[in-house]
Structure 1
């Protein structure tokens, strides 16, 4: 590995550590190698960046974000929470379970953890505090649950992973589902244990008939929102559309639902959602352009091979190497958002994983769970800090609860996902007849 590549990696990591926006960090690293590297013709680097931007797969991400924004402004988050609360809020600590399930469902609509924090957290944190839950606990639970958006399809992270690694995006939508269900179960159990001694105020008791009627009414109110992920995934796995076409259908579906059925979306809020989606798409395009250039440069400089040789030099034991890969992904997740983390780590570590016999689909599930855990892991924990802003809670009030969710929720699921390939390969093999490396 040349001295220029080492300096380039230091520039990238140093800027990320200082909190510089990720697109600018990748731009600085790419431009450094562009001018300092020994390339006889640099035009192909620029063309490689533009060629990546021309992919129709990338169009799915802003379309899903746009559809999620429309449904959020249209009142879908309130209806999902009302439905979940009618099902679970009368159980001890049930409001916490409402948070977990609401963020999971909302993740299936928006595909982004920050959107889940903003939509669910702004409603549920004040409600939980009123019911006697500790504010730090409520905020930490929202942060931990919101990361489910990385695993529940249609996940932006899984779209990018499939695009970067040339892996089936349809398979990548399926791979993290079982780990996500395990994580939902773990978070719900942890919530029950942590809230037993909190002075939680339970809602008034209802008869079975009243409870059934309440659930039925709220299910009808939330039906159009609940139908959205069913339509998206049904179109994809039914072979009717590609993921990008399904994203376009989601936008077309969400506009009349938000405007005329839920009537929570005005033409002004529609333009606001479109403007914010455009901003996110512009930042994403810049990030993809420069990260593609940097990935191409590092490939020419044999960086993936150097990483492989370095790790194999430490140990040839598969268990040890998988632990090293997970540690690297955890550190990436602590300092980067999930999209930047996928773009940086996936092309670098996939050759290492494949040398160990790890299937690309299986590795994608590992990446999703691990980067998600990094987003709520101190000291950086970007999603945890964002949730603190939404919930008006400081890090010291959240840190203990967050560590409990990490140690007893995310870590066991990560270990299971890493060392039990069937958890991520079962659904792709059953539904898509996917042929994994183990077959």
Structure 2
């Protein structure tokens, strides 16, 4: 049966590489196992899929996606860029820091890396090029910063991981924050180093009074939108709502802000935001349906135990096993989006890491960092290619800065998150009294 399972995984990966929609790739993998395997009647798979997509937890994801889309079309992205630029954009290399800070904040609001690239990248990449930044570098920085969306709450990736592994979502929202903040600091520091020789146009100095007035004005313009993550997290950690109920609050907050405060929403843009959120959510639910079926089959075939035995055959060292798991997750992230990677790898690997003493909440942070790194790691790098489309550039022009960010910023954070449990468990323990 091992050969059949390997063939099934190969079918899954090949279909993804050639561009077949991910949900159909999972469906093909399920169909192959049902036809080749000895399961008798396969009717048990449909309840397995329906049981997963009927979970109340999953309602949060389309609601958070909708809230993010409403803020995008409502005009928040431009206000965030203006605020960040007024704060740190006045000195050499400052626009690079603007990118990192804006992507971190907007990623927290939208919950998805691709949304952050589309909304913020389309504004910031042309602006950076006008100021003398290399186009390949500007696009690379936008792509690499966009994966911060996986690490700052409310993260759709953490909701999916919590749901598929029965782990506390409130704890998972907190777990990747410290790794995310370290990444922000490293990105900003490396940006200053990489841009030191670029022919950047530095804004003329102005009196401090004008700077303060400009910052105050831009803060006022963006302040209402910046309240959204505060409202969400305040409701959750204040014990007022569950994460799913907080998603409803987020939508209820975003609609009047978009219509009456920022005035970016009208009948057309509201319909567009709802349509895009519905299309994204529909594809995600379909993906979850088939992924749940595949997970059920893999569980019946003892795939997690087989993976553990295979890894132990290579090394019995905990450090070695964790490095191999990280490598596997990075490769998964190179071929799949973060949601697909979590649905595929989460149920398989959680029993493995628990066997070697890794807490499920810490593993959630590890998955977020590892899959995020895969999304920007060539040669596949789905987010990198998407950013290249937005920035109108090619992979060769983005390759050098991207690999610099990966090696100097991402790898150290991945190692820290993997081998220092307190990095991801400190906040859950402090805020929630988490005992894992």
* Counterparts of 1:419 and 1:51, CA distance in 2: 35
* Counterparts of 1:82 and 1:294, CA distance in 2: 46
**Contact residue 139 and residue 391 of structure 2 kept, 8 A:** yes
Q: Which residue of 2 aligns with 1:377?
A: 377
Q: Which residue of 1 aligns with 2:357?
A: 357
* Counterparts of 1:31 and 1:282, CA distance in 2: 21
Aligned positions, number: 436
1:371-408 Cα offsets, whole Å, 9 max, x none, are 00110100001000000000001111100010011000
Query: What pairs with 1:65-144 in structure 2 (closer than 5 Å)?
Result: 65-144=65-144
How far apart are residue 91 of structure 1 and its match?
Answer: 2.2
If the length of structure 2 is used for normalisation, what is the TM-score? Answer: 0.99
Q: Which residue of 2 aligns with 1:23?
A: 23
Q: Which residue of 2 aligns with 1:48?
A: 48
**Contact residue 91 and residue 203 of structure 2 kept, 8 A:** no
Name the SS of the counterpart of 2:357 in structure 1: coil
How far apart are residue 136 of structure 1 and its match?
Answer: 0.4
* Counterparts of 1:217 and 1:73, CA distance in 2: 21
* Counterparts of 1:434 and 1:125, CA distance in 2: 41
Name the SS of the counterpart of 2:101 in structure 1: helix
* 2:265 equivalent to 1:248: no
* Counterparts of 1:3 and 1:84, CA distance in 2: 53
Name the SS of the counterpart of 2:44 in structure 1: helix
Q: Which residue of 2 aligns with 1:278?
A: 278
* Counterparts of 1:349 and 1:399, CA distance in 2: 31
* Counterparts of 2:212 and 2:273, CA distance in 1: 36
1:164-188 Cα offsets, whole Å, 9 max, x none, are 1100000000000000000000100
Query: What pairs with 1:222-233 in structure 2 (closer than 5 Å)?
Result: 222-233=222-233
**Contact residue 66 and residue 273 of structure 2 kept, 8 A:** yes
Unaligned runs of 5+ in 1: none
* 2:211 equivalent to 1:211: yes
Name the SS of the counterpart of 1:323 in structure 2: helix
Name the SS of the counterpart of 2:331 in structure 1: helix
* Counterparts of 1:174 and 1:108, CA distance in 2: 12
* Counterparts of 1:227 and 1:34, CA distance in 2: 49
Q: Which residue of 1 aligns with 2:413?
A: 413
Name the SS of the counterpart of 1:43 in structure 2: coil
How far apart are residue 367 of structure 1 and its match?
Answer: 0.4
- Root mean square deviation, CA, Å: 0.9
Q: Which residue of 1 aligns with 2:425?
A: 425
How far apart are residue 17 of structure 1 and its match?
Answer: 2.4
Q: Which residue of 1 aligns with 2:288?
A: 288
How far apart are residue 21 of structure 1 and its match?
Answer: 1.6
1:67-109 Cα offsets, whole Å, 9 max, x none, are 1111111110011111110000012200000000001000111
If the length of structure 1 is used for normalisation, what is the TM-score? Answer: 0.98
* Counterparts of 1:168 and 1:135, CA distance in 2: 41
* 2:342 equivalent to 1:342: yes
* Counterparts of 1:115 and 1:143, CA distance in 2: 11
Q: Runs of 4 or more off by more than 4 Å in structure 1?
A: none
Q: Which residue of 1 aligns with 2:264?
A: 264
* Counterparts of 2:233 and 2:383, CA distance in 1: 27
Query: What pairs with 1:167-178 in structure 2 (closer than 5 Å)?
Result: 167-178=167-178
